Amino acid sequence: MPKIKFGTDGWRDIIAREFTFENVKFVTQAIADYVCGKGVAGRGIVIGYDNRFLSEHFARAVAEVLCGNGVKVFMTARATPTPVTAFAVKHLAAAGAVMLTASHNPPEYNGIKFIPEYAGPALPYITDEIEANLRRVLAEGKYLDIPYDKAEAEGWIENINPLNQYIAHLKSVVRLEDINRANLKIIVDPMYGAGIGYLDRLLGEAGCRVIVIHGYRDPLFGGTMPEPSAKVLTELREAVLSEKADLGLAMDGDADRFGIIDSDGSYIIPNQVLYLIYYHLINSRGLKGPVARSVATTHMLDRIADYYGLAVDETPVGFKYIGESMMKKGSILGGEESGGLSIAGHIPEKDGILAAALIAELVAVEKMPVRDILKKLAEKFGALVSERLDIHTKAENKEQVLNTLKEAIPHSIGGIPVKSILDIDGKKFVLEDGSWALVRASGTEPLFRIYVESDDSNKLKKIQTAVKEMLKL
C-alpha cells in the first residue's frame, strides 16, 4: 500500500517516488467521494496547477478521476497561483478546487490539496473526512476514471483562465489610484512560478515602471527553491540596487506567500509586513476591525489593535485557522509569520500577489521607503524583534523533550517573570514585559521550533538560551 500522509496543507512528496500518477488518482478518488457525498458534484471542481515538473499532466490525471465520478471540471488553461485558483472557486460558485503544487518546497517535490467551496484552506473536519476516504480507497486499490479526451468531448471539462477576473477583483481590493500617483519603479520576481503575469500586470496598469526577473517557467527554479526568503532572494536584491528601484516584490512557487525587498536592498521580514499593512488599513483606509494572527506571529499586531481599541484573535498555526477567523469574526487582516496574508474583501486564503500589491500601495501613500515607515511605527508603538530557531534532536530524545515541555511551569524565563502560559498550539510563555516564547514540535521529524519575540535583541537571546536550557536542547 502506498505511503500517502497528509500534512497541514495537503499531501506533498517527491515526484516519481511517492508522488506518482497512480497515487494522485487515489487521492483524487478520495476527494471525489467527499464531493459526491455532499451532493455538490454538479457545481464542478476547479483544477489549478503550478509550474513544477509534470504539474499539467498530473492535473489531467485529476480531471480523469473527477470526470469518471461524474464531477464537472473547470480546468485552468495555464499554470495558476493557489490564491487565483481559490478565487475561481468563488467566482464560479464551484464546489471547490484541487490544486497541484508543492508551494515553496524544493523542485523535486509536488503536491495536491483540496480547497473547499468557501475558497480557503480546508479545515481539519474536511481533511479528516478525505483522509478516511483515502484509507478506504487505498485498501480497495481502485479508482474510477475516464480518458481525458473522452471526458472533454463529452462536455465534462470546461477550460478556464481566471486571470482577467482575478485582476479585476484585485482592482477593487487594492487602491491602484494611490499607487498611480507615486510613479514607483518596482522589480517583480515570480521565482519562475505560477505567479508569472499577475503582479507585474496589476502594477503596470497602476502606472508603475515594472521590471520582471525570473518571469519564465523553470521547474528547477534556477537551481534553488521558490521560497521568498532573504537567503534566496539575492538576485532580486541585486536588481533593486542596480536599477535603483523603490521596491522588490517576490512570490513563492504558487504565489501564496510574499517576499519584500526595500529600496536599500534590505529584506523586510513577514512579521513586519503584516503589521505595516494592518496599520495602513486602519490609519490610511479608515478600516476598523479585529486582526487574526497565529500563535507564532508578532505581537506588534496586538499593540496596534490595542491602541485603536480593536480585538486580536490568536489561532493555531496554519492559515486555515486564520481564514476561519476572517470568515466568522470579521477580521480585517489575517496573517502568519511564515508569509501568509489576506484582508477583508478578499478570499480567506493567503495571497502573495495581494500582499505585494498592498506594500506598493503603502509606500505610495506614505511617500517614503519601508524602512522609514518601520521607524515611524517603532516610535509610535515601540520596537520588537522576533526570531525562530529550529533545533534538531535525536529521535529517541524527542519524547523526553515533549514530556519536559508538557510539565514546564516556570516562574520566570531569562530572568523575566512569566505572566501566562498558553497551549493553543505547542506551548507559549508570555512574559511580564511583553516578551514571549513559543515551543512547537514538528509532527514528522525530531525537530523543535522555538519562536521568541522581545523589545531587545540581547533580551531575545537570553530568552532563547533559557528555553533551550529548560528543555535540555
pLDDT tens per residue across span 8-25 = 678 999 999 999 999 999
Q: Which domain holds residue 321?
A: 166-381
For residues 377 and 394, state if they share a domain: no
Q: What is the pLDDT of residue 260?
A: 98
Q: Give dist(CA 17, CA 261) in Å, integer.
A: 36
Residues 171 and 130 in one domain: no
Residues 346 and 206 in one domain: yes
Same-domain check for residues 371 and 453: no
Using CA atoms, how far apart are residues 165 and 95, in angstroms rounded to an integer? 18
Q: Which of 361, 381, 401 is the last residue of a domain?
A: 381
- Element (DSSP H or E) covering residue 453: strand 447-454
Same domain, 70 and 173: no
320 in any annotated domain:
yes
Structure confidence at residue 470 (pLDDT): 94
Same domain, 182 and 123: no
Q: Clarify whether residues 225 and 353 are in a common domain.
A: yes
Residues with pLDDT less than 70, the chain:
1, 7-8
Q: How many residues does the chain have?
A: 473
Model confidence, pTM? 0.95
In-domain check, residue 4: no
Do residues 232 and 362 both lie within one domain?
yes
Residue 46: how many CA atoms within 13 Å on its side-chain side? 33
At 300, which helix (H) or strand (E)? helix 300-307
Domain check: are 179 and 314 in the same one?
yes
Q: Is residue 411 part of a domain?
A: yes
CATH code (residue 85): 3.40.120.10
Let me know whether 132 and 194 are in one domain.
Answer: no
State which of 161, 185, 219 marks the end of a domain. 161
**Predicted pLDDT of residue 452:** 97
Last residue of a domain, one of 132, 161, 190: 161
Contact of 85 with 228, CB cutoff 8 Å: no
67 with 100, same domain? yes
Question: Is the residue at 3 inside a domain?
Answer: no
Is 2 part of a structural domain of the chain? no
* Residue 5, domain member (yes or no): no
**According to the model, what pLDDT value does residue 283 have?**
96
Indicate the number of domains in the chain.
3
Q: Are residues 304 and 192 part of one domain?
A: yes
